[in-house]
Amino acid sequence: QPQPQPQPQPQPQQQPQPQPQPQPQLQPPLPTRQLLPRGEHAVHLPRDMTLYVGNLPHIVSKRNLMDIFAGLHVKDAHVVQSMSGSSLGYGFVEFDTKQARDEVLQTVHLEVEGRTLDIRPAYR
C-alpha cells in the first residue's frame, strides 16, 4: 500500500502593512467667514468705549465708518458683514476714551446717504 504523501504546508501569507494615511492639511478659518455661536461677536471691543452704529447704508466700509466719525477721537471701527462679505447695515466704533464716547452719544446726530444713523451704547 502506498504511503500518503505529506501535504506541503502552506506558507503563511504576510499581511501587507497598512500605509499611514497622510494627515489632511488644516487651513486656518477665515475670520469673516466663521460661524459663531449665538450671542458671540466677531470683534470684541471694550464696551465702555464702544458705540453701536445701526442703519448704515450697505456700501459703508470700515474706512467709511471711521471717516464718518473723524475728529471725534475714534480708535477703531468694525462693520459687521454676512458670510458673503456684504454689510449687514450695522457696526461698532471704539473711541479713545469713555468721555469721548459719551460726548458722541449725547451730542452727535448723523445722517449718511439719507439715513439717520442709530447710535447707541454697545452691549455684549
Whether the pLDDT of residue 56 is over 50: the answer is yes
Query: What are 66-79's pLDDT values in tens digits?
Result: 999 999 999 999 99
The pLDDT-based confidence of 9 (bands split at 50, 70, 90) is low
The pLDDT assigned to 48 comes to: 83
- Give me the numbers of helices (H) and strands (E) for the chain, helices first please: 2, 6
Query: What 8-state DSSP symbol labels residue 31?
Result: G
Query: What are 99-121's pLDDT values in tens digits?
Result: 999 999 998 889 999 999 999 99
Cβ(53)–Cβ(92) below 8 Å? yes
The pLDDT assigned to 30 comes to: 45
Cβ(91)–Cβ(21) below 8 Å? no
The better pLDDT of the pair 41, 75 is held by: 75
The pLDDT assigned to 20 comes to: 65
